[in-house]
Amino acid sequence: MKEVVIRKFVLILFMCFALSNCVNNDYETPENIEVHDFIWKGFNAYYLDQENIPDLSDNRFNSDQQLESYLKGFGTPEDIFNSILSSTDLRSKLIEDHTLIETPIPKRSSFTNGVEFGVFMDPNISDNLIGYVSHILPYSYASTQDISRGEFFYAIINEENDVIPLVEENYMDMLVNYEQDTLKLLMADYDGNTLVTNNKRIDLVKESYEYPPIFIKKVMDVSSKKVGYLMYNNDFSNNYIEDLNATMLEFKNQSIDDLVIDLRFNIGQNSFAKTITEIASMITGQFTDEILIKENWNLKAQPWFELNQPDSLISRFTSYLDNNQLINSLNMTDVYIILNGNGFNGSSAIELLINSLQPYINVHVIGNSTKGDNVGSITLYDSPDYDFFARNSNHLYALQPKVLTFTNLNNESYENGISPNIPLCSDEDPLNLGELGETSDPILNRVLNYISSGNVGINPTCNPLNLKLLYNSINSQRGIDAGIFIKQDLPNLGR
């Protein structure tokens, strides 16, 4: 956590910062508009778009009484929050009960049989659907059964032992929302033309499942190089940072030359800038204490930080995790990041990592262009300094506004997204999946060829059979990206 030391004379100097005229320190906000007052003042002080919202202008009100009259015009806190929100802002949140966001983020878990799959329409038989296995979750129930990536299924057996072919009207109920204890899949062979049943049946039982921190890790010999391959499918919260660090130590002990981070099944979400700083330091290590990330606040807060605490606007490469554990650094000069999947263009955490590393090493993006989400957020409480302590006990509201944008050492942003070095098809070809972590996997094989030759190769023909893909189970697990959060003590601007 970066801490901003606030001296008393600075606080006094900036008590009037948010309003053009100093407010009366003896004025007490009526209890029925305390939340309204907190929302307006928090947004007036720190909202990234403050200067573009007329009702948040410092010149909007000449006195506390005028502000009070304005606030009373809104029936609910949600009403005033929505009224001062930028029309393009999909990130800022009003939290009705702050106790819901104070619980540590749980590790990723679910109730699953362990088969991740996709579904497409049979091009030769009207209304029929064909399912395919995209991957099997390690240590799950399915991992103990005779089923693997690249296999096909066409029907299930219900509790009455009836064979139910998959059709568009039933596949979600049959494969996702089923209530029976066991999912019984009927398997088939499919070559793109003909579906042939093969008398194979797989019975799958749902169990409570906690996703392993690391999906696949291995070192591969590519020409004269050792390539570390990491397939990572969890979020970038602090939950898994020690596991990532341990994996980097394994790679370090094997003296890898290049690193591939495969995020095709990654769910994104849940990250702090601090965590990205630690991951960037694992990948590198030769730039300790150099500037990695710069923060750019609104036109009111930025000058205050630049004048009083300029170091608080900078995140640097580090040598230690938050728990003082030494970071295992790889000293890479090249990292290859795979972003593949229909509609998946990484997360805000991945974008921050890529952009921050680019001034220092070669970051090769494989797959999709990223979306361009370079804003950061912070949690504000109704307290004199907007922190959790001394918060108003009359209500439970909190704010999570977007308050800054990120740039790298060279002041480069990524608001328009980051283009890939090698584009990939939006979806993997169900008829040519190969084995994950092996050269039979077309995506990994292409990346390895790129590493060994520097040649991007010929783009494959995407979906050569024009299959109509209806569903992929990993897509439903990618929730709304909450963006990047920072933890920083704040001056009480305008409070």
3 state SS of 390: coil
What does the pLDDT read at residue 26?
A: 61
Share of the chain above pLDDT 70, in %: 93
What integer pLDDT is reported at residue 15 of this predicted model? 38
Angstrom CA distances, 478 to 35, 135, 235, stand at: 33, 16, 10
Contact 386, 431 (CB under 8 A): no
109 by DSSP, 3-state: which? strand
Spell out the residues 6+ positions from residue 234 whose beta carbon is closer than 8 angstroms to its own: 108, 211, 213, 240, 266, 267
Domain identity same for 151 and 263: no
- Enter the tokens of residue 448: 């390895």
Residue whose entry in the numeric block shows the structure tokens 């003909």: 194
Residue 461's pLDDT is 87
Q: Based on the domain organization, do 404 and 491 belong to the same domain?
A: yes
Q: Is residue 102 very low, low, confident or very high in pLDDT (cuts 50, 70, 90)?
A: confident
273 phi and psi angles, rounded to 5 deg = -55, -35
Q: Which of 173, 195, 210 lies at the terminal end of a domain, its last residue? A: 210
Q: d(Cα 437, Cα 408) in Å, to the nearest integer?
A: 32
User: Cα Rg for the chain, rounded, in angstroms?
Assistant: 26
pLDDT at 175: 97
Tell me the two tokens of residue 238: 């602090």
In which band, very low, low, confident or very high, does the pLDDT at 58 lie, cut at 50, 70 and 90?
A: very high
CA atoms within 13 A on the CB side of 365: 20
Q: What integer pLDDT is reported at residue 494 of this predicted model? A: 60
In degrees and rounded to multiples of 5, residue 319 shows phi and psi of -110, -5
Q: How confident is the model at residue 491 (pLDDT cuts 50, 70, 90)?
A: confident
Q: Does residue 345 have a pLDDT over 80?
A: no
What is the pLDDT at residue 364? 97
User: What is the per-residue pLDDT for 20?
Assistant: 40
- Within-domain flag for 474: no
Q: Which residue has the tokens 């601007």?
A: 493
The rounded distance, in Å, linking the Cα atoms of 376 and 295 is 9
pLDDT exceeds cutoff 70 at 179: yes
**460 or 293, greater pLDDT:** 293
**Residue 64 pLDDT more than 70?**
yes
Instruction: Determine which helix (DSSP H) or strand (DSSP E) holds 130, and give its type and residue range.
Output: strand 129-136
The boundaries of the domain holding residue 381 are 1-106+212-459+485-495
Instruction: Out of 162, 194, 210, pick the residue that ends a domain.
Output: 210
Give the pLDDT mean for 284-310: 95
Return mean pLDDT, the chain.
Answer: 90
Residues 277 and 179 both lie in one domain: no
Q: Is residue 14 part of a domain?
A: yes
> Given the DSSP bridges, would you call strands 362-367 and 334-339 parallel, antiparallel or unpaired?
parallel
pLDDT band of 422, cuts 50, 70, 90: very high
Are both 120 and 87 inside the same structural domain?
no
Query: Tokens 């965590």, residue?
Result: 275
Q: Clarify whether residues 388 and 255 are in a common domain.
A: yes
* Residue 13 pLDDT: 38
pLDDT over threshold 90, residue 205: yes
Query: And the tokens for 395?
Result: 């209500």
Q: Report the pLDDT averaged over residues 454-475.
A: 90
Least trusted range by pLDDT, from 332-336, 409-413, 416-420: 416-420
Mean pLDDT of 44-66: 95
Q: What is the pLDDT of residues 208-254, one digit of tens each?
A: 999 999 999 999 999 999 999 999 999 888 999 999 999 999 999 99
- pLDDT for the residue 253: 98
Assess if residue 265 is contained within a domain. Answer: yes
- Structure-token pair, residue 152: 């096909």
How sure is the predictor about 198, in pLDDT bands with cuts at 50, 70 and 90? very high
CB atoms within 10 A of CB 9: 8
- Asked if pLDDT for residue 429 goes beyond 80, the answer is yes
Residues 454-490: b if buried by 16+ CB within 10 A, e if exposed: eeeeeeeeebeeebebebbbbeebbeebbbbbbebeb
Confidence class for position 489, pLDDT limits 50, 70, 90? confident
* DSSP run (H or E) holding 174: helix 171-175
SS (H, E, C) 235-285: CCCHHHHHHHHHHHHHHHHCCCCEEEEECCCCCCCCEEHHHHHHHHHHHCC
pLDDT band at residue 369 using 50, 70 and 90 as cut-offs: confident
Question: The domain spanning residue 205 has which CATH number?
Answer: 2.30.42.10
Backbone CA torsion sign across 357, 360, 364, 369: positive
Identify whether residues 294 and 362 lie together within a single domain. Answer: yes
Phi/psi at 476 (nearest 5 deg)?
A: -70, -15
> What was the pLDDT predicted at 488?
76
pLDDT higher than threshold 90 for residue 291: yes
Same structural domain for residues 166 and 224? Answer: no
How much is the pLDDT for 9?
35
Tokens of 487: 């933890």
Inside any domain, residue 279? yes
Residue 358: what pLDDT? Answer: 98
Check: CB of residue 114 under 8 Å from CB of residue 212.
no
464 found inside a domain: no
Phi, psi of 249 (to 5 degrees): -65, -40
Count of domains observed in the chain: 2
Token pair belonging to 240: 């898994």
Q: Are residues 440 and 349 in the same domain?
A: yes
* Two tokens, residue 111: 């109730």
Q: How far apart are CA 355 and CA 347, in angstroms?
A: 12
Over residues 323-327, the mean pLDDT reads 96
Query: For 140-156, how does the pLDDT look when each residue is reduced to its tens digit (9 = 90+)?
Result: 999 999 999 999 999 99
Percent helix, strand and coil across the chain, each to the nearest 5: 25, 25, 50
